[in-house]
Chains A and B, each alone.
Chain A
Amino acid sequence: MATISAQSVQKSFDSLEVLSRLDLEIQDCEFVSILGPSGCGKTTLLRTVAGLEKATSGQILLDGQPVTGPRPDLTLVFQNFRLLPWRTVEANVGYGLRLRGVPKAEARERVQQKIDMVGLRGYEKKYPYQLSGGMQQRVGLARALAIDPKYLLMDEPFGALDAQTRELMQEELLSIWADSPKTVMFVTHSIDEAIVLSDRVVVMEAKPGRIVDDIRIPFERPRSAVDIRTDPVFAELRQHMWGLLRHEDRPVAAGGAPGE
């Protein structure tokens, strides 16, 4: 089982309260998006679940175990890719496997499989600087999936990509997830992205960061992003979430929230 449970998690940086006694349950193999304006603490929440930040009070349980630091069965995908620039595509994808001491032959096979999966066959020997942003994030995704994690945490992974690449990547993520479901926590400030991808969308508000709504997304899986976008239910959900975010009267929220 791979469940995530945040229990009255509170986090402050100095005197600034970023998360205010927040509770959240994520089921095994559920895809949950955390949607909210900039500064609502959604990234802090994700980092706390990942063991990169410590909660000031409260706790996070993964499969019942309290989080004390990074775990081998959890990986992250970052908005700014974070590839090692001095390593080739295949070495970057194999990074987690190498750290875990997976035998070379097995690692090579798994790396190649993930590279094929994200459509980067032929780019194995390229260095990150030779790739476009979309390709770099494919490497980031393949790297995260290569260790076959139970938990996949994504922090605005497509936020730095152009609109078309972004939709393409969403489509690919849908099909990857359909093939091997994992417990996914997906932070985004795009309403569309959250609806298209998720089983549930958790909407947060800022100052202090808290959950204001938790919305089940009714679309059947396997999904097609294109079909969903033209569904009337999609428009309804979108309008509902937009209404929630609009409450935030600060300009940051208005600019960040509408999605693409």
Chain B
Amino acid sequence: MTSSAVAPVSTSSAGASPASPAAPPAGAPLRRSRNRLGWLGSEPVLWVLGLLLVPVVWHLYSMVNDDKLIVGPLDVARAFGDLTASGELFTAAQSSGTVLVTGLVAGAIPGLVVGILVGRFRLLDLVVDPYINAAFATPLVAIVPILIVALGFGVQAKIVIVAMFVFFPVAISTATGVREVPRDLVELARSFCAREYTVWRDVLIPGALPYIVTGFRLAIGRALIAVVVAEFSTSVTGLGFMILRYSRRFRMAEGLVPVVLLMIVGFVLFWALKRVEKRLSVWRATP
């Protein structure tokens, strides 16, 4: 994504001499070689340029536009500094973070267990699978008001909402992964007199791990959505509260600060998950 976004700019700066499009040798990678871009073509440089592209365009747009409601990245950065210094951002983040983490755990663990059970036992799968898929397809936001009636406006309601968003992707991915684990390996474990839980620990979970990680990745994205949804629709607290409060007063820069923070949190969580996955998959042949 980043490199393709930058490509037009760099080709125009380096492309005075039209390089003759020689046919690539057989077996060469399908991606175009980046040699023609010179130093601009090195991966870190492209990465940084890509990262700067959107903020720069945003900044230029906010400069030429007189509308006071259109704030630039520098305004947001300044507001970020102010809200951090006052401690307001930290307090709000703490409240949202608690909901996020608790909800993630409360959704992921049952999701993992149900996913393994459904993937492991075919008859259970037959009965439960339609429900899980129906629930996954349902826009869960739609039942949030109903949940609030049942659970009230407190922090439990928020946690349940997040857990609900997290549960289904984890359960579905885990079940798919467990179904993919060769039955031969389960039988091997049985032949060594393994108990059911050691089969889970030694065979099913490691075997399904790539799918479980995919489920977690989906779950993290959905959990971040769920936190904000929960904070908007129950008692207004945390980062969601900040967004509402400042945007209602037309202070757009301040209103965008929690959004940026949520983005950073999502980015960091994805990155951490990727690292964990890499460490856990040393046993797979790299293609």
Most buried by A among B190, B191, B282: B191
Q: Give B175-196 interface residues, CB cut-off 8 Å to A.
A: 184-185, 187-194
Of the candidates A72, A78, A99, A127, the one having the most CB atoms from chain B within 10 angstroms of its own CB is: A99
**Cβ < 8 Å to B, chain A residues 40-85:** 50, 52, 70-72, 75-76, 78, 80, 82, 84-85
Task: Report whether A50 and B193 are in contact in the complex, using a CB–CB cutoff of 8 Å.
Answer: no
CA distance A76 to B187 in the complex (A): 11
The answer to whether A84 and B202 touch across the interface, beta carbons within 8 angstroms, is: yes
Q: Of A72, A78, A85, A86, which is within 8 A of B193 by CB?
A: A72
A130 to B284, CA, bound (A): 9
Indicate if the CB atoms of B190 and A99 lie closer than 8 Å: no
Known: A84-B202, A84-B203. A99 touches B184 (CB 8 A): no
What is the bound-complex CA distance between A72 and B193, given in angstroms? 6
Tell me if B283 and A86 are in contact (CB < 8 A): yes
Contacts of B284 in A (CB 8 A): 85, 129
Closest CB of chain B to A49's CB: distance in Å? 12
For A36, what are the chain B residues with a Cβ–Cβ distance below 8 Å? none
A87 at the interface (CB under 8 A from B): yes
Q: Does A209 sit at the interface, judged by CB under 8 A?
A: no
Whether a CB of chain B sits under 8 angstroms from the CB of A158 is: no
B residues in contact with A76, CB < 8 Å: 188, 191
Contact B192 A75 (CB under 8 A): yes
Closest to A85 in B: B283
Among A52, A71, A99, A127, point to the contact of B187 (Cβ < 8 A).
Answer: A52
| Residue A186 at the chain B interface, CB threshold 8 Å | no
Q: What 0/1 pattern do residues 63 to 96 of B give for CB contact below 8 A with A?
A: 0000000000000000000000000000000000
> Which B residues touch A84, using CB under 8 A?
185, 188, 202-203, 206
Chain B contacts for A85, CB-based, 8 A: 283-284
A75 touches B191 (CB 8 A): yes
Q: Looking at the complex, which one of B190, B191, B192, B285 makes contact with A129 (CB distance below 8 Å)?
A: B285
- CB-CB under 8 A from B198, the residues of chain A are 99
Do B187 and A95 touch (CB < 8 A)? Answer: no
User: B192 near A80 (CB under 8 angstroms)?
Assistant: no
Q: Is the beta-carbon distance between B206 and A99 smaller than 8 angstroms?
A: no
Cα distance, A128 to B207, chains bound together (Å): 14
Which B195-225 residues have C-beta < 8 A from chain A? 198, 202-203, 206-207, 209
The answer to whether A99 and B194 touch across the interface, beta carbons within 8 angstroms, is yes
Interface centre among A71, A72, A82, A87 (most CB of B within 10 A): A82
Contact of A96 with B by CB under 8 A: yes
Contact across chains for B187 and A96 when beta carbons are under 8 A apart: no
B185, B192, B209, B285, most chain A CB atoms within 10 A = B192
Rounded to whole Å, the gap between the CB of B33 and the closest CB of chain A is 31
Tell me whether B283 and A78 are in contact (CB under 8 A). no
Residues of A within 8 A of B187 (CB): 52, 82
- Contacting residues of chain A (148-173) with chain B, CB-CB under 8 angstroms: none
Q: How far is the CB of A78 from chain B (nearest CB, A)?
A: 7
The reply to whether B192 and A86 contact each other, CB–CB distance below 8 Å, is: no
Tell me which residues across on chain A come within 8 A of B207, comparing CB atoms: 86
Known: A52-B190, A86-B206. 10 other contacts (CB 8 A): A52-B187, A52-B191, A70-B191, A76-B188, A80-B184, A82-B184, A85-B284, A86-B209, A99-B194, A129-B285
Interface residues of A (CB under 8 A from B): 50, 52, 70-72, 75-76, 78, 80, 82, 84-87, 95-96, 99-100, 127-130, 147
User: 10 closest A-B pairs (Cβ-Cβ)?
Assistant: A82-B188, A86-B283, A129-B285, A127-B283, A86-B206, A96-B192, A70-B193, A76-B191, A99-B192, A70-B191
Can you report 13 residue pairs joining A to B where beta carbons are below 8 Å apart?
A52-B187, A72-B193, A76-B191, A80-B184, A82-B184, A84-B188, A84-B206, A86-B209, A95-B202, A99-B193, A99-B198, A100-B193, A147-B192
